[in-house]
Structure 1
Amino acid sequence: MEIKTIQIKLQDRSWEQISLVNDNGMVVTFMEFGGIITEIIVPDRDGKKENVVLAYKDPEQYLTNPGYLGALIGRVAGRVQGAAFEIEDKVYHLDANEGDNNLHGGETGFHHVLWNIDTFVRDSELGAKLTYRSKAGEEGFPGNLDVEVTYTVNNNNQFVIDYRYVSDQKTPVTLTNHTYFNLSGAAKHTIHNQELKIDSNCFLELDNQLIPTGRLIEVEDTSFDFRKLSRLDRGFHYDYFQNKVANGGYDHYFLFNDEKHGSAVMRDESSGRILIVETNQPGVVMYTSNNLPEGLELTEGKTDKYFGVCLETQGSPASLHHANLPSILCEAGEKMHKQTTFTFEIEKH
C-alpha cells in the first residue's frame, strides 16, 4: 500500500493531489480542492487497469467545474426549491445559482472548498481524512457546521466514503459525491450498454425545472424500473414524460426500499467490471449526464451526453418542502454519520 502526493500548480494557486494505492494496484486519486476524485483505477477481466471515472484534462477546469466532476457536494446536494426553506417559522434564503433555485450548496459550495487533509495507513487499508468548518451564514445556511469526510481504500478493492458532521444550530445537511462512472475504462464507450440495478420501488417526480414535486411514482411498468439489471439507455429515447423533463435520460431521486441499507449494482459486460454501491443513505440520485456541457477536454476525449453516470447517495432536499420524505435536518449538537461503499469486482468470461 502506498500514498502518493503531487502538487498541482495553476497560474495563481496550487493544491495537492493525493493517490491512495492498495496492494492490488487499485488507485483512488483526489484533490484537496473540492475533495474532487480524478481517478479510480481498477482492472478489467483481462487484468488491464484503467480509470473508470471522468476527469478534466486541464486542472484549471476544476476552478469552475460546470459538471461538478468528482466533487464533494454540500451543504445540501441537489436542488433547493426557490433557494429558500423554513425552520421553526424562520425563512432562510440561499444563493440562487440555478435560475430561482439553489443547486449543490451554491456557487461556493463544498466543491470549491480547500479541504484540510490528514492521510493514514493501517493494516489492510489506507486513506485520508478531509475536514472543513462551514461557518454560520455561508451561502445562507444557519449554524457553524463541522464536517469530516474520510476516503478509505482497502485490499478488498473497496472505496469507502464516510461523512461525519455536527452543527451548533438546526440546519439542513445532505452530503454526496458527484463522480461520473464509466466502467468501460478510459471512457471508451458511452454508458448506453452499461447496466444498473437499484433496490428501489419508487422515485421522485420532477417538474420542468428539475425540482421534485414531492410525488413518489412507482417504478413498475416504467423506464425507471431498475429492480433487475437493465441497460441504462432504456430511458434515453423513451417517450415517458419523466425522461423528457431530464433531457432524455435520468436525473432522479430513487428512494431505497430499505432506508438504512440501500444498494445499487452497475455492470459493464464489455470489460467485465462490476460496481456495487452500499449505503445507509435513504436514496440515490441517478444522473446519466444528460445535461453535461459538451466539448470539455477530458483525460480521455471530450465530454458528451451519456458519457458517465453519477450515483449520488444522499437525502433529498425536497424533504425541506415535502414532509413525506426522510428529513435532512440536523439538530444542534447531533452527531451525524453517513457512509457509502463502492466495491469493484470482475465478472469472468
Structure 2
Amino acid sequence: MSREIETFGQTPDNHAVHRVTLRGGGLQANILTYGATVQDLRLEGIAHPLVLGAPSIEPYFGTMKYFGALVGRFANRIRQGRFLIDGQEYHVPRNWLGKHALHGGEVGAGEKIWSIEELTKSSVTMRLDLADGDMGFPGHLIVRVEIRLTEDSSLSFDIRATTTAATPCSFAHHGYFNLDGGPDITRHDLRIDAEAYLPVDADLIPTGEIRPVEGTKFDFRARSEIGRRGLDHNFCLSDTRKPLRPVARLRSTESDLSMSVETTETGLQVYDSAYIPEAGLVGLDGKRYKPFAGVALETQAWPDAPNRPEFPKAVLLPENEYRHQVRYAFNSGVPQ
C-alpha cells in the first residue's frame, strides 16, 4: 500500500476504511474512503486544523455523522421522504425526525465506502455506485469526485454523476470550518452574495416562500459577524447552475486567515453547528467541539426541490451529466 494511503479503521459491517493524504499549495488534507470525508485539513504556518474532524473512525458512525462527508444522492431534506417523477411516487427513508429524508436517507453517500480510482500527490478521484432503488431513489447512479489541493491554497471538489433513470441528484461537501482554532465561530465574519433565503418550518423544511434577506438576520450581503443566530438555512444564489464563481467569504476576526467559497450551484446551506451537544464532541488535537464550534458552507441544490417545481430543477436525466464544482480558497493576511 502506498505511503499516502493508510488503514484508518473499519465499518460496523467490517469493511476497511482507508485514509489518503494529499499535499499541495501549502495545504495538507486527509480524505477518508468512508463518505469521501475530509477528516483533517491543515495550512502551512497555521498551528490548528481548518476543519472539524474526528481522530478515529467510530464517531463518524454516530455523534459526528456527516462531519466533512460528501452527502447525497440528494443533499439536505426532502419533505416526508417522498417525491413524484413523471407521475410516479417514490419514497426515501425518513431519517430526519422520523418524518423527512435527510442527505439521501439513512445510508446515503456520506455513509458508504467510495473506491479510489486515481491518486496523485495533490488529488484523489473516488467513485461510488448507487444502485437503482438504493434508499428508494430511481436510477443506477454513478458518481465520481475529484478532490484536489491547488497551488493557490484551495480545496476543490469536482463532482460528476450519470444515471439510468430520472432521479433527484444533489451532492454537497458537509465540512465544518473554523479558521482560528478557537472554541467557536461566533466572531467569524461572513459575507454571502444572496438576495434571498428559504424560510423553514419547525422541522427545518422549506415553507416554499423565497424571502428577501433585507431586514432579517439572514442578511450577509455586507460582511457581518456570525454570532449565535441559529443558522440552518439555504441561501438562494441563483435560479440555474452557473459557471464557477465566488459566492461567499468567511474571515476570522481573531486571526489573519480568510476563506472564499466558489461554486457552480444554485444554493448555499449555512449551518452554524448550534445543535452540537453541550457536552461536546472529542475532535482533532484533543479539542472538544461544543455548539457553534464550526460553520458548514454547503453548496447544493435547494432543499426539497423535488417537491417544489418553483425551485431550480434538481432532477438528473439519463441524457445529461450532473456536474458540481466547489472551491474553498484560503488566504493568510489578505483582507476580505
TM over 0.5: yes
Q: Secondary structure at the match of 1:212?
A: coil
Q: Work out the CA distance in 1 between the residues paired with 2:201 and 2:3.
A: 45
Structure 1: stretches of 5+ with no match in the other structure: 237-247
Contact 1:74 1:173 (8 Å CA) reproduced: yes
Q: Indicate the larger mover: 129-138 or 256-265.
A: 256-265
Q: Work out the CA distance in 1 between the residues paired with 2:63 and 2:114.
A: 17
Shift of 1:126: 2.4
Residue number in structure 1 paired with 2:201: 207
Q: Work out the CA distance in 2 between the residues paired with 1:293 and 1:118.
A: 37
- 1:297 and 2:293 equivalent? no
Q: Secondary structure at the match of 1:91?
A: strand
Q: Work out the CA distance in 1 between the residues paired with 2:246 and 2:266.
A: 7
Q: Work out the CA distance in 2 between the residues paired with 1:219 and 1:302.
A: 33
Contact 1:67 1:292 (8 Å CA) reproduced: no
Q: Work out the CA distance in 2 between the residues paired with 1:133 and 1:15.
A: 17
Specify the code of the residue in structure 2 equivalent to 1:159. L
Residue number in structure 2 paired with 1:18: 20
Shift of 1:155: 1.4
- 1:146 and 2:131 equivalent? no
Residue number in structure 1 paired with 2:257: 273
Q: Work out the CA distance in 2 between the residues paired with 1:348 and 1:334.
A: 40
The alignment of Structure 1 onto Structure 2 pairs a total of residues equal to 326
Alignment of 1:182-331 (within 5 A): 182-185=178-181, 188-233=182-227, 236=228, 249-257=230-238, 259=240, 260=242, 261=245, 263-294=247-278, 295-299=280-284, 300-331=286-317
Q: Secondary structure at the match of 1:206?
A: coil
Q: Work out the CA distance in 2 between the residues paired with 1:29 and 1:8.
A: 11
Shift of 1:318: 2.1
Contact 1:262 1:283 (8 Å CA) reproduced: no
Shift of 1:112: 1.2
Q: Work out the CA distance in 1 between the residues paired with 2:46 and 2:85.
A: 52
- 1:109 and 2:108 equivalent? yes
Structure 2 CA distance for partners of 1:216 and 1:21, relative to 1, 3 Å: same
Shift of 1:3: 7.5
Q: Work out the CA distance in 1 between the residues paired with 2:143 and 2:46.
A: 37
Q: Work out the CA distance in 2 between the residues paired with 1:314 and 1:158.
A: 19
Q: TM-score, normalised by structure 1?
A: 0.89
Structure 2 CA distance for partners of 1:348 and 1:279, relative to 1, 3 Å: closer
Specify the code of the residue in structure 2 equivalent to 1:61. P
Q: Work out the CA distance in 1 between the residues paired with 2:135 and 2:334.
A: 48
Q: Work out the CA distance in 1 between the residues paired with 2:139 and 2:3.
A: 35
- 1:343 and 2:324 equivalent? no
Q: Work out the CA distance in 2 between the residues paired with 1:3 and 1:131.
A: 21
Residue number in structure 2 paired with 1:241: none
Shift of 1:28: 1.3
Q: Work out the CA distance in 2 between the residues paired with 1:163 and 1:206.
A: 28
Contact 1:256 1:262 (8 Å CA) reproduced: no
Q: Please report the RMSD computed on the Cα atoms of aligned residues, expressed in angstroms.
A: 1.9
Shift of 1:257: 4.7
Of the three residues 55, 58, 68, the one matched with 2:56 is 58
Contact 1:273 1:346 (8 Å CA) reproduced: yes
Shift of 1:231: 0.4
Q: Work out the CA distance in 2 between the residues paired with 1:296 and 1:18.
A: 24
Residue number in structure 1 paired with 2:66: 68
Q: Work out the CA distance in 2 between the residues paired with 1:138 and 1:183.
A: 37
- 1:33 and 2:34 equivalent? yes
Q: Work out the CA distance in 2 between the residues paired with 1:3 and 1:153.
A: 18
What fraction of aligned residue pairs are identical, expressed as a percent? Answer: 29
Specify the code of the residue in structure 1 equivalent to 2:323. H
Q: Structure 1 residue runs of 4+, over 4 Å off? A: 10-13
Residue number in structure 2 paired with 1:89: 87
